[in-house]
Structure 1
Amino acid sequence: MAQESPKNSAAEIPVTSNGQLEDSHEHSFNRDLKRSLPVGLGLSETKITSHGFDSTKEGVVEAGPFPGKGSSASPKPSVISPSSAAASRLAGQGCDLIIPTGGRAQQKSGPVVLADEVKNPAMEKLELVRKWSLNTYKCTRQIISEKLGRGSRTVDLELEAQIDILRDNKKKYENILKLAQTLSTQLFQMVHTQRQLGDAFADLSLKSLELHEEFGYNADTQKLLAKNGETLLGAINFFIANVNTLVNKTIEDTLLTVKQYESARIEYDAYRTDLEELNLGPRDANTLPKIEQSQQLFQVHKEKYDKMRNDVSIKLKFLEENKVKVLHNQLVLFHNAIAAYFAGNQKQLEQTLKQFHIKLKTPGADAPSWLEEQ
């Protein structure tokens, strides 16, 4: 008996219950697919998902209940790992492959976040130097243009007049301060000489019996003059200290604000001139961004200029009030002290010092320690 050749399952011709051939290609495909899948996984439990090239789930086969058909058994999830070529393409698209504890690869898609580049300190310093150089160039050009009479400058006539008066008064107050210091130095030398002369007369009064009274009168006179001179010296030094504070601190602080105001004015005029030159030129795609940027810089410096002008006006107002009050008191003190000294009115001289709360140092007293001066 001849041996029968083994039957190929793929070559079998299915026969229905009534003996007719089944011409459904779908049934044949489903049957072949069932044989190729693992045991326990039916065709109804499988679903193939296909995406385009832009999808991040290329090469993934998901297992689950097929829509429209129920399954009595609970479906078992099955995931087919993508090939190495697909994994390379996924990596190129910025996707991650996460390997779970079961050893199967799962795909995790999501946006790719790139860390911000760390700013280079050298580049920041270079940018600051560039901005400073550009600003210095603009201001220098503005100053040269003003000195040559080619550029225009913004002038506040009322404020400029007040600043000029302040500077002129500062020079005059400095001259008064210098003369008062000279008078104080000379008066100190005279008082020192009178005190020495009084001591010499007193010594001779004790040693010369025949001229005892004459030397004694002169000794008392010189000592009294030295005492009154010390009182006047205290009043003059008090006058010098207050005028020095007014000139070298209060007025100087105001003039420092004036310098900042003038610098802001130069920057404002420099950027104003730059904006005017750009507005006179052509307007196209290249110049419009420059004009807009120049307009923003001009607005920034305009606000700075307005703020500094307001600060100067306020400081000048308060300085004028403070100057009048301080100088009024100090001039009254100086006048009364000088008049009382040269009139020989010792009581009036002492009363003047009490009026302004001036304390004199006791002659020969030790100088205060450096701790007390702090």
Structure 2
Amino acid sequence: MDGDLSEGGMQSVALNDGSTCGENQPLAGVPMPNAIPNSGIQQLPATSPTQPIPTPQARPTSLPQYPHNPGSAYTSPNSASSPATPTTPGTENGAAVVRTGSSKMETIKSWSISTYKCTKQLLSEKLGKSSRTVDAELEGQIESLRDTQRKYSQILRLARALSSHFYHVVQTQQQLGDAFADLAQNKIEDQTAEQHILKSPELQEEFIYNAETQRTLTKNGETLLGALNFFVSSVNTLCNKTMEDTLLTVKLYEAARIEYDAYRSDLEMLSQQPRSEISSIKLEEAQRNFSGHKAHYDRLRADVAIKLKFLDENKVKVMHKQLLLFHNAVSAYFSGNQTALEATLKQFNIKLRSPNTAPPSWLEQSVPETFQTIFGSLNSPTK
């Protein structure tokens, strides 16, 4: 019996009255402590140790199930009319990233193809193996504009040099006038006679005359310097901004011309090949690309023609005004006509700034306006 009572191998034992004693039955005549009577208790069937334990069934929920109505805020989760669709987190973001990456790859691909075609077209033109589209009238206007910009840049460089040198002349005249005035008014004290005696009494009048002359020249020189600076600023705007903007459009036009010729050469080459299904598809794509680049080229050519026309009109107006200003100001200064010099600056609305004055601060500009607004509202009659 010791061999039968091994771990996990307990068996039933037959008794004298024919009943069996096993795992779930007590032995006869052996009192069981804390025994529970069998009345009212359902006995569970004995299970073998190797038999799997059945999983308990889910407890029924006590929440009421609302009927599914279209447009209702309460919908049963188990309703057949609204099945749940499983979604993967980040699926939409992943698709957006894939679309963005593919669009970037397409952009890089089209840019690479266009760059290759344009480089090939440039080399073919330099080697004389390909023709280029030429607008003789427009090309002549562009070359004339570039030549005009070079000449105006030379004028601008010389005008800046003249303004810089003349500025130093004015500063030197101012210092020389101060030195003459100092010598004309400087006195020493005689300790014995206790009288103020001039250093050079015989040259006092000459020093005073020269000091006044240099001060007048300095004032007129500052006026002429203002006119020169205005001339330099206007020519600089015309040369480095207005003309440069037109030349930037010209550069875009030339780049569009190269692309147009590149795709035109590609279309001509495909048109000469034998007809097939693949060549027909390539020919249609080449025709479509050629039409797009031709429209872009025509649009930029029209823009260049319009800008050249307006630039020529603007150049005539600006240079007419600036050359008249330069002539009148220089002539009035070197002829000593101060009245004509000041009238020239008034004619062209040029305001001179004193060299020792700084621009007003924001407080000086805003406070008077604030007080004017306040007192104006107080003094206004009430209705």
In which range does the TM-score fall when normalised by the shorter chain?
Answer: 0.5 to 0.7
Cα 1:315–1:371 change in 2 (3 A) is: farther
What's the counterpart of residue 120 of structure 2? 141
Distance in structure 2 (CA, Å) of the matches to 1:321 and 1:233? 28
Distance 1:160 1:279, change over 3 A: same
- Are residue 361 (structure 1) and residue 353 (structure 2) matched? yes
Query: How far apart, CA to CA, are the structure 2 residues paired with 1:166 and 1:172?
Result: 10
Corresponding residue to 1:178 among 157, 167, 191: 157
CA distance in 1 between partners of 2:108 and 2:351 (Å): 56
1:292 corresponds to: 284
Distance 2:281 2:231 in 1: 61
Q: Provide closer, same or farther for how the CA distance between residues 118 and 360 of structure 1 changes in structure 2, counting only shifts above 3 A.
A: same
Change (3 A) 1:139 1:354: same
* Count of matched residue pairs: 263
3-state DSSP of counterpart to 1:211? helix
Amino acid at match of 2:325: L
Q: Is 1:231 equivalent to 2:210 in the alignment?
A: no
Residue 258 of structure 2: which of 229, 247, 266 is its match? 266
Q: Which of 111, 117, 132 is matched with 1:153 structurally?
A: 132
* TM-score of the two chains, using structure 2 as the length reference: 0.66
Instruction: Give the equivalent residue in structure 1 for 2:313.
Output: 321
Aligned partners of 1:338 and 1:186: how far apart in 2?
Answer: 15
Find the aligned partners of 1:310 and 1:297 in 2 and give their Cα distance.
20
1:187 and 2:149 correspond? no
d(CA) in 1 for partners of 2:301 and 2:208? 67
* 1:363 Cα deviation after fit: 3.4
**What residue number does 2:34 align with?**
none
CA gap 1:288/1:371 in 2 versus in 1, 3 angstroms:
farther
* 1:281 to partner: Cα distance: 1.1
What is the letter of the counterpart of residue 339 of structure 1? S
TM-aligned CA distance change 1:355 to 1:158, over 3 Å:
same
Hey, what does 2:242 align to over in structure 1?
250
Give 1:167 deviation, angstroms: 0.4
Q: CA deviation at 1:123?
A: 2.0
Of the three residues 201, 207, 215, the one matched with 1:215 is 207
Alpha-carbon separation, structure 2, partners of 1:146 and 1:262: 14
Matched, 1:125 2:117: no
For residues 356 and 229 of structure 1, do their structure 2 counterparts lie closer, same or farther at Cα, with a shift above 3 Å needed? same
Distance 1:169 1:370, change over 3 A: farther
Match of 1:256, SS state, is: helix
Q: Percent identity?
A: 60
Structure 1: which amino acid aligns with 2:291? Q
> Could you give the per-residue CA deviations for residues 62-114 of structure 1, whole angstroms, max 9, x where no partner exists?
xxxxxxxxxxxxxxxxxxxxxxxxxxxxxxxxxxxxxxx9x9x99xxxxxxxx
1:249 partner amino acid: K
Q: CA RMSD in A?
A: 2.4
Residues 274 and 355 from structure 1, CA distance in 2 versus in 1: closer, same or farther, beyond 3 angstroms? same
Deviations 1:222-253 (A, max 9, x none): 11111111000000000011111111111110
The 2-side partners of 1:220 and 1:150 are apart by 76
The unaligned stretches of length 5 or more in structure 1 are 1-100, 107-114
Partners of 2:269 and 2:238 lie apart in 1 by 45
TM-score, normalised on structure 1?
0.67
The structure with higher relative contact order (CA 8 Å, sep 6+) is 2
Q: Secondary structure at the match of 1:155?
A: coil
Could you list the runs of 5+ residues in structure 2 that have no partner in the other structure? 1-75, 82-90, 187-199, 365-383
How much has 1:125 moved relative to structure 2?
Answer: 1.3
Offset from partner CA, 1:190-215 (integer Å, 9 cap, x none): 00000000000011011332210011
In structure 1, the partner of 2:63 is none
User: What's 1:283 paired with?
Assistant: 275
Which secondary structure state, in structure 2, belongs to the residue aligned with residue 272 of structure 1? helix
Residue of structure 2 aligned with 1:165, choices 141, 144, 148: 144
User: 3-state SS of the aligned residue for 1:177?
Assistant: helix
Mapped partners of 2:267, 2:225: distance in 1: 61
